[in-house]
Structure 1
Amino acid sequence: MTQRIHRSIDTPLRSGLNRDELWEAADKGLIKCWEIGRQRAARFPDLAQRCLADELPVLGWKGGVSRSLKKLEKYGSLKYLAQWQGLRGEDLDIDLSEERALTCSRTNMVVTFTPDRSKYFNQVAEAEV
């Protein structure tokens, strides 16, 4: 059974929702992360351009990379993926039951975005340089 979260980029941003409605609903906060990405794209066009160039910049969720590490692969949060899609001006399109791998065009790091928090939660944190 797929648990796909999809919203069109033409959908207006939501307002008037409480914390539980934003973060604890069936979408697990992915819609809110995507909406934040859309808002950040308007405020930070340079960041949006980096995302459009297939970079995976450091954002507020696990998944971004600022430099290549010895191990060229790591795991990231679906919340990062949702925000990244918003920054790129794309529809939100995430399947909660699948992993999705992307390669950062700047660092060549492969990040696998996963619904399994245990895969990225205890990962060695990357320090911003």
Structure 2
Amino acid sequence: MTKRVHRSIQSPIRPTLSWQETWEGPDNGLIRCWEIGRERALKAPEMAQRCLNGELPVLGWKGGSDRTLKKVEKFGSLKYLAQWQGLRGEDLSVDTQSEVTLNCARTGMVVTFTPEQSKYYNALAEID
């Protein structure tokens, strides 16, 4: 996987790709997640506005939260970060080898988006 995945908001949404092209290509599905965010922003402008306001709402990937948890720090997926950028109408810009930490303006949760899946899957096991 490449280190930085970038795509301009001016880029058209790509035509339908096969599952393999979408999720096993060089970007590992980050571009598609971002495109889904862009599409969702058109269908749910209130969700897009929440993201623009700095909220990290629940989406299809680990990272968002609809409430403050006892442990206010958690890990999330880079796929969430890509979709969130799309919802905000931003260029896709994800470094696949670095972590990014954001604070949710609504819940106060501190989410670190990481390329290490074990960090957010292990957190699930600790909650159960």
Shorter-chain TM-score: what band? Answer: over 0.9
CA displacement at 1:17 relative to structure 2: 1.4
Match of 1:8 in 2: 8
Aligned length: 124
Q: Which moved more, 1:9-18 or 1:31-40?
A: 9-18
CA deviations over 1:23-47 (Å, ceiling 9, x no partner): 1011010000000000000000000
Q: Stretches of 4+ moved more than 6 A in 1?
A: none
Partner deviation per Cα, 1:3-60 (whole Å, 9 max, x = no partner): 0000000000001311111110110100000000000000000000000000000000
Cα shift at 1:124: 2.8
Q: Distance in 1 between matches of 2:21 and 2:15?
A: 11
**Percent of aligned positions with the same letter in both sequences?**
65
Q: Distance in 2 between matches of 1:61 and 1:106?
A: 18
Give the corresponding residue for 2:51: 51
Give secondary structure in 2 for the equivalent of 1:123: helix
Residues 96-120 of structure 1: per-residue CA shift (max 9 Å, x gap)? 0000000000011100000000000
How does 1:18-97 map onto structure 2 within 5 Å?
18-97=18-97
Q: What CA RMSD, in Å, does the superposition of the two structures yield over aligned residues?
A: 1.1
